Amino acid sequence: MRLKGKKAIVTGAGQGIGRSIALKMAQEGADIVIAEWNPETGKQTKKEVEAFGRKTLLMAVDVANQKQVQNMVAEILKAWGRIDILVNNAGFDRGATLLKVKEEDWDAVLGVHLKGAMNCIQAVAPHMIENQYGKIINISSIYGKSGGIAAISYSTAKAGIIGLTKSVARELGGHQINVNVVLPGLILTPTIAKMAEKYRDMIIERTPLGRIGQPEEVANVVAFLASDEASFVTGATIEVSGGSSM
């Protein structure tokens, strides 16, 4: 097991990609903190993590709220003594075109995706620096590179996460902390399952592998980056998109 004994935080682990990441890392031996805005969402993930024989904490936190994040990290350190891995996955979208996007929606989307990732990194970084060890994996999107129609807030936030990752990787590299970013393409999450079939088919047609991706395929890459097998990988941007952004 590549992550045996490690302690990991996964934000937005109640469903979709976050849930798959939490379960994959538990399967690889890690104890998991499930950080969710609505803890009810994470109860099933908690049961499944515990079924692997791992410790788990289900914590209610709004990652856009710096104080809540700091309190969460303090509670984890009090309970477990250390944090080895942080996966910034929490996110959502309020789709709108340029001229129709509302200020409150723009602020909310960037708050969770970008400010949330920054809050979590700032909260765990002093502990990781002290230990001279840490793995930080941020979840962006191929839309962070290409942009997306009617997804201006989401695409902007995801682009910011790429820049944040590279800046933090440069700052923390000297402390043996690896910081990388994963860019999923079209992945079969609950949100995508509700997408109109004609739009899914359009994306699949542009995907060289000719199919939709599974959350587990993103989780496999994250688990690798969280492991010591990726000890010389930092500042990397890894796409899990079936080649759709080529």
Within 8 A by CB and 6+ apart from 169, the residues are 178, 179, 180, 234, 235
Residue that has been written with the tokens 């803890």 in this structure: 39
Tell me which H or E stretch contains 129: helix 116-131
Least Cα distance to 140 among 122, 154, 125, 120 occurs for: 154
Q: What residues are annotated to the active site?
A: 154
Least Cα distance to 219 among 129, 120, 137 occurs for: 137
- The pair of structure tokens assigned to 233 is 């990988």
Amino acid identity of residue 139, one-letter, is I
Sign of torsion over alpha carbons 177, 77, 20, 5 = positive
What span, in angstroms and rounded, lies between the C-alpha atoms of 68 and 11? 13
Tell me which H or E stretch contains 85: strand 85-88
What span, in angstroms and rounded, lies between the C-alpha atoms of 199 and 195? 7
